[in-house]
Structure 1
Amino acid sequence: MQTSFDRRYGIVAAAFSIQAVVIGGMFAYGVFFKVLEAELGWSRTLLSASSSLAFLVMGIFAILGGRLNDRFGPRWVLSASGLCFGLGYALMAYMSAPWQLFILFGVLVGLGMSTHDVVTLSTIARWFERRRGMMTGVVKVGTACGQVVIPLLVTALIATFGWRNACLMLGCGSALVLVLAAQGMRRPVVPSPVTTGSTDRPQKVWGKSLSEAARTPQFWTLCAVQFMFFPALVTVPVHIVAHGMDLGMAAGSAAAVLSLIGAVSILGRLFVGIVVDRIGGRRSLLICFTLLLLSLLWLRSTDAPWMLFVFAVVYGFAHGGLFTVVSPTVAEFFGMAEHGAIFGIVLFFGTVGGAVGPLLAGSIFDATGSYDIAFSGLAVLTFIGLLLVASIRPAPLSAPLSPT
């Protein structure tokens, strides 16, 4: 007989797999930049614009995904988005015009990305309370594993089979894994003490509604904070491989920088996941923002390939921590009653920043031949975000956490 323990950790494994494939596939998009520039003559502004559209679509539909998850559960929502993600990448194998890139990557892949965080992390938050941060960190390690493995795999596929076949294989493989993993995702069922005698699950879902949360300053500050740090978390992975090659690195070495970011981010996700349960969301955000700011200041001064590997260590830790801390912070501030909807709105503000960042960076590079201004801008946004985090205070809740 399957126990509650088995179900909970099976759901963690499914969420881990979804995070790995979606984020790994998203990061792999930057690996295609140079070959698409060379074969199709597309500029980095155009390539970045499709990435920006994908993030905008992701943010808009994350709100809907959060609502649907709160109402109907995660399984079918994740299955549908997984099919969109895989189909978008697979059909990119046949594209020859920019409008096709915008539809396939910008819209279809963007739709596929829209539920990977808001649905999986909201589901994890419902299953775990006392160890919510730690288990969120474990799930987000999946994204780091995807960042490490998939860009290198795609680089090898492009070198061996060409970029079109690489797109086809990435799309088909992603759809298969995502749909299968979605079948393992479900919401916890509140047991009846009359029939089961169990008290393992909380008997009442408590917390603020979306409308109540939206009337607090903490909600809007979290939205602004998300907007400030997300450009750095998205722009760097999109452009770092091309930037490394601009500095004279081979394609494999430049992809290794991206993979190192993913590898180190594993430590960031696990560390921050444990720490947020102990010191809370605000202090954890302060740690992550400080490290992110230091890494961006270093990146701005890089002029040699080895400096990118140093950058990758500090940035990767902050990157992993920031992707882990937001969901438990939303739960800490506003509870679980409408966690998916609230988290979806907060994520939307981040994805707006994530949509603008890569596009501006690509435009700046095309205009100046350098990323210097773009990297400086990311540092300024991060500093503003750090000040906002320092100003925030937890929102009072009417009910305490129930231990699990």
Structure 2
Amino acid sequence: MDNLKIYVRLSDLLYKDMLGLADEEEKRELDTLLVTCKLKGLDREKIIARLQEKDVFDGKEALQRFKELKRVGKGHRRWIRWTSVAASIVVLIVVGLWLSQEVKFENNMVVSGVINPGQSRAVVTLADGQQIILEQATRKIEESDGTMLHSDSGALVYTANIEKISSVVMYNTVSIPRGGEYRLELADGTKVWLNAETELRFPVNFTGERREVYLKGEAYFQVKRDEKHAFMVHTSMGVVEVLGTSFNVRDYEGEQEVVTTLESGKVMYVSEGSKEQVILEPGYQTLEKRSSQVEVRKVDPIQYIGWREGKYVFEDMALEDIMQTLCRWYDIDVVYADPTVKKFHFTGDLERYESINVFLNFIETGGDVKFRTEGKTIIIDKK
């Protein structure tokens, strides 16, 4: 029996046993598999307690939902998202224990070359052209207009010197490399989380009627409310204008699209090409591609802002798009030995600060793909 069949059978039997629906023969088979997989002594009562806390442990109905989740879709198998229902929690507990025990199977699972997540890294370019590397260490920098820059624990905070504010607008740029992230607090109190491969250009101090910044890449904004001074984020295709709100903007050059997702408050997106104006409510986003109209979509914001909270959430997403996101954060390269796997779709969550290997093992366990690592290159093929 190959590892995928073991995975499916063990999760079926374990869940049926906890529901009280396993017969004697199934219980014996379960005990044998638990011994084989070095999981004998698994605390089932503790798992049941966790499920009951989530209010999702419901006998035969839960078992039926479990089976429905595990149906094979056309062209690919969807691996189970652990946050959805009780069954998926059980499955991930089983697989997680397998991985923690370092169980080895005979197929090509990812078992070597651990690839760790990114960390706080950035470069700030001052108005005079001086470049300073920012990491975890504490640093204090003074701009020529007296503005103080304080860097500590992955955050850079700007504090204006009221007595020396100049009428001349001075710009700084913070650049985040692949495998990096950084937090930024602008002089007006606006907080910005910068994702990997991102650049933000902004005034050291905001003067005039508008607070304007320029973004390449991806950033999450919590704008300090100021009804007299609109906050504007310039992208490659349009401008996001707000008064005070929380939202995410994604504008990577290689993706050829600008995506603005609103978490709270209200924003207006203005296309520079078509001049179209769209006002967003929370839970909606705009998407603009080159030479096309602005599209408005209702979405689950966590799929687009989860990275800021330490989690990537992928919902029925093509493997190519998933890996494109992971390449930036883990600073890896991807080679597709079989290009057809790019279009396979998967649903799942990834803890942003854990090794990528755990995530790839989950996908491989329940999907039609296999992964192999060579240094920081991941080679993807069809099973």
Query: Normalising to structure 1: TM-score of the pair?
Result: 0.23
Q: Which has the higher contact order (CA 8 A, sep 6+)?
A: 1
Which protein shows a greater Rg?
A: 2
Greater strand share, structure number: 2
Query: Normalising to structure 2: TM-score of the pair?
Result: 0.24
